[in-house]
Copies of this chain bind each other. A is one copy, B any other.
Amino acid sequence: MPRGRGWRRRCRAGAWVQRISRFMEPCLLLLLHRGGSHGYDLLERLKEFGFAEETVDSSVVYRSLRDLESRALVTSTWDTEGGGPARRVYQLTPEGDQYLGWWIGGLRETRSVLDRFLQAYEEHMKLGNHVPDERMAEVDHRISS
């Protein structure tokens, strides 16, 4: 969320998108549910869930994976086969699978909360509760300056 005077200035593309807290975690868990993989590969595959390339920081991915491992929700082994530096390959544990289920439940709840909010907004606006046009124009002028 943009801060300071002139909130529009900080609405950079991709940044500050209203997001779900720690959303990367369930994404990683789902990817790992499809099969073991390593951080760098997961980083690429996160795009599938709407993480734009520019907006994902690799350190967040690695940090998240290590955190999951410290909670025994994934395990890791080193893979030195093939070229390039060694890769830490993660595998989902049964506990991690249950944890993913917990996330899914919470996210479904979040979706229903979100739906109700957006419906309430549309309902409210449908009734003609708009800010008068002349006031809006005034604001547009102030914001763009």
Stretch at the interface among A53-61, A79-87, A114-122: A114-122
Contact B18 A19 (CB under 8 A): no
Contact A104 B116 (CB under 8 A): no
CB distance from A62 to the nearest CB of B (A): 17
Interface size class of A (residues with CB under 8 A): 35 or more
Q: Contact flags (1/0) for A1-41 with B, using CB distance below 8 Å?
A: 10111011001000011111111011100100110000000
Contacts A115-B111, A143-B95; is A102 near B22 (CB within 8 Å)? no
Contact B129 A17 (CB under 8 A): no
**With A and B bound together, what is the CA distance between A143 and B1 in angstroms?**
38
CB distance from A6 to the nearest CB of B (A): 9
